[in-house]
Amino acid sequence: MEQTNFQLKKQDAQSHEWDARLHRATRATRKDWIGRGISYLCIGVIILVVASMLWFITSKGIATFTQNHVSLWKFLSGTNWAPDQGNIGALPMIVGSFAVTFAAAIVATPFAVGTAIFMTEISPNKGRKVLQPVIELLVGIPSVVYGFIGLAVVVPFMRHLVGGSGFGIISATFVLFVMVLPTITTMTVDSLRAVPRHYKEASLALGATRWQTVSRVILRSATPGILTAVIFGMARAFGEALAVQMVIGNAAIMPKNLISPASTLTSQLTTGIGDTIDGTLPNNALWSLALILLLMSLFFNALVRFIAKRGQLKNGR
Amino acid sequence: MDAKRKDFIATVVIDLIVAAVVGILVFLLAYILISGLPHVSWSFLTGTTDAFSGAGGIGVQLFNSFYLLVLTMLISIPISLGAGIYLAEYAKDNWRTSLIRSAIEVLSSLPSVVVGLFGFLLFVVKFKIGFSVISGAIALTFFNLPLLTRNIEESLSAVPRNQREAGLSLGLSKWKTEIGIILPVALPGIVTGIVLSAGRVFGEAAALIYTAGQSAPVTNFSDWNPMDPASPLNPFRPAETLAVHIWKVNTEGLASNAAQLSAAASAVLIIAVLLFNLGARVLGNFLYRRVTASK
């Protein structure tokens, strides 16, 4: 009796041990946990970077209005930028930034759409063999090199053509046009390729010429995608700093015409931030310019999403 | 005007546009290489810069560019690999994931000058590290992370589902499947993305002006102790890169031959970026053949 009782107890303990061992996480499971933990950590780092970036720039950017008590309206509509004397009207830079952005987008879009049509509809073979590498190389050229060529070629050319210094919005437009061209082209090509094949076949079967098919069917149905491409290009132009700064002349005055020196938000930031002292009004004013850049970049992002949603509704997909 | 003639005119116009685009690229490359290459010499590539005028060789800048690139990649590849695996494998399709994706999108669309200013604020002003290699490398990491993460996620997601199922059905854990099966298959795409992003990082200047600084103190290339202030490996010294040098020479430089200098430096920069692009393609194809055993 004693014996069996003891045996039973022993068995019980053994089964308990087995139970625990079977329920314990294996080495593979623990490794899985660690791996999952690492990947969560990495994504956490990225979220932290984005959040702290938004927080720091916003809090620095609104200091002009909360600490220095400059009115927001005066900042946005004032045309006199002399932070040392307490005048911080940012309108010249805002106008400059929007002017170069829209001008570059208007010039680049026909070129980009034309190139994209060539690559998808006219000669896909040459498009893949010649134009694809061309576009990739244009993307790869660093922005300081674009700025240098602008300085060495475009500025003297404009000086020769219309007189004056050659620096100004038109030179910046030229440089930005080449810089945003590959962005708009690549995304337009994607959206043209996404047009269902039977749309094109139906149109051609009705006896439409290639141009009629392209202009009335393909471009029409790819419009949301092309708009998105143009907005991405504009976002790049709006945020481009050094290439623009090198050719626009950097005069913080209201641009009267396209050929006199002007400045943009980015060019003012690049030239100014090193010369000001942290916490003073001139420094805070520059951070407010950076905040405008940040908000515009968020706005472009939201616009792209809005268009994507509308496009989906329209196509009933 | 009948439809056929319109079609013809449209085709001609598009052909002209394409010719113009190709012409622009040919002109750009030809201009840089023709005006720059004659001034590139061994003494230019290894020489030191006159701190006052900005004239002289680009040896230190060239070293700085590569050093920053290596440091940036050392920091950003592990983080974006982890984040890419999270997005491709663990992320559920819910509001939290879409928030994370938007955050990455926002980071990738931020102008690089804003990223640079954030780095300046954080490292130079708040942490008082000063203009240094490490500040520059972290700023470049911020700039690099979203693109690299997206590239890695896309490469991982492109691996066919049945590979994943095969791994899981053999009793492997999710992590083991990802590391042992999915990652090797996705490697060619990932490597191509990494090398392409290296080209972008190499040419970036706006994010570096106020983080890595605009001065290239002459370093002692026989001193490889990273803790020594004069050592080229010291991560706390200011480091002007090649791209920043081009900008600096053109805007603030006093060198009489600034145009020649920057043409030569641009030529070197362009050749480096072209090599990165070419290398990405060659390496990607090579790895693809090795991994997939296809001829």
pLDDT of A51-107, one tens digit each?
999 999 999 888 888 887 888 888 888 888 887 777 888 888 999 999 999 999 999
Question: Residue A2: is its pLDDT beyond 60?
Answer: no
Contact check, Cβ <8 Å, A214/B10: yes
- Nearest C-alpha of chain B: how many angstroms from A35? 6
The Cα A244–Cα A251 span in angstroms is 13
- Please say whether the dihedral angle defined by the alpha carbons of residues B77, B78, B84 and B89, taken in this order, is positive or negative: positive
Q: What is the ipTM of this complex?
A: 0.88
Tell me, yes or no, whether B6 lies in a domain.
no
How much is the pLDDT for A317?
44
Q: Which of A122, A245, A297 sits opposite B111 (nearest CB)?
A: A297
CB contacts of A153 in chain B (<8 Å) are 31
How much is the pLDDT for B154?
92
Q: Considering chain A, what is the average pLDDT of its residues? A: 86
How much is the pLDDT for B151?
93
For residue A44, what is the nearest residue in chain B, using CA coordinates? B83
Q: Which of B16, B33, B109 to mutate to test the interface with A (most CBs of A within 10 A)?
A: B109
The Cα B241–Cα A142 span in angstroms is 13
Give which of A279, A244, A275 is closest to A262, Cα–Cα. A244
The Cα A300–Cα A180 span in angstroms is 15
Contact check, Cβ <8 Å, B7/A29: no
How much is the pLDDT for A314?
60
The Cα A39–Cα B85 span in angstroms is 6
How much is the pLDDT for B294?
57
Q: Which of A39, A238, A280, A296 to mutate to test the interface with B (most CBs of B within 10 A)?
A: A39
Q: What are phi and psi of A262, to 5 degrees?
A: -140, -170
**pLDDT tens digits, one per residue of A166-209:** 888 889 999 999 999 999 999 999 999 999 989 999 999 999 99
**How many structural domains does chain B have?**
1
- Nearest C-alpha of chain A: how many angstroms from B39? 16
Tell me, yes or no, whether B35 lies in a domain.
no
Give the tokens for residue A207. 């006896």
How much is the pLDDT for A316?
47
CATH, domain range A73-315: 1.10.3720.10
Q: What CATH number did the domain enclosing B211 receive?
A: 1.10.3720.10
Q: Which of B4, B9, B14 to mutate to test the interface with A (most CBs of A within 10 A)?
A: B14
The Cα A275–Cα B153 span in angstroms is 41
Q: CB–CB of B32/B270 below 8 Å?
A: yes
Contact check, Cβ <8 Å, B114/A32: no
Tell me, yes or no, whether B272 lies in a domain.
yes
Q: Which of B21, B90, B250 sits opposite A147 (nearest CB)?
A: B250
Give the tokens for residue B65. 């560019």
**B195: containing domain:** 40-292
Q: Note whether A211 contacts B: Cβ–Cβ < 8 A.
A: yes
Query: Three-state secondary structure along chain B?
Result: CCHHHHHHHHHHHHHHHHHHHHHHHHHHHHHHHHHHHHHCCHHHHHCCECCCCCCECCHHHHHHHHHHHHHHHHHHHHHHHHHHHHHHHHCCCCHHHHHHHHHHHHHHHCCHHHHHHHHHHHHHHHCCCCCCHHHHHHHHHHHHHHHHHHHHHHHHHCCCHHHHHHHHHCCCCHHHHHHHHHHHHHHHHHHHHHHHHHHHHHHCCCCCCCCCCCCCCCCCCCCCCCCCCCCCCCCCCCCCCHHHHHHHHHHCCCCCCHHHHHHHHHHHHHHHHHHHHHHHHHHHHHHHHHHHCCC
Structural domain boundaries in chain A: 2-61, 73-315
Which residues 105-164 in chain A show a CB within 8 A of chain B? Answer: 110-111, 114-115, 117-118, 122, 130-131, 134, 136-138, 140-145, 147-149, 151-153
Q: Note whether A50 contacts B: Cβ–Cβ < 8 A.
A: yes
CB contacts of B6 in chain A (<8 Å) are 209, 211-212
**pLDDT tens digits, one per residue of A79-95:** 888 877 778 888 889 99
Contact check, Cβ <8 Å, A209/B6: yes
pLDDT digits (tens), chain B, 295 positions: 688 889 999 999 999 999 999 999 999 989 988 988 888 877 777 777 765 566 677 788 888 888 899 999 999 999 999 999 999 888 888 888 888 998 998 898 889 899 999 999 888 888 888 888 889 999 999 989 999 999 999 999 999 889 889 988 998 888 888 888 888 888 888 988 888 888 888 888 888 888 887 877 766 666 666 666 667 777 778 888 888 888 888 887 666 677 788 888 889 999 988 888 888 888 888 887 877 665 4
Q: What are phi and psi of B237, to 5 degrees?
A: -100, 150
Give which of A104, A147, A96, A100 is closest to A252, Cα–Cα. A96
How much is the pLDDT for A134?
87
Cβ neighbors of A303 (< 8 A, separation 6 or more) are A231
CB contacts of B145 in chain A (<8 Å) are 46, 49
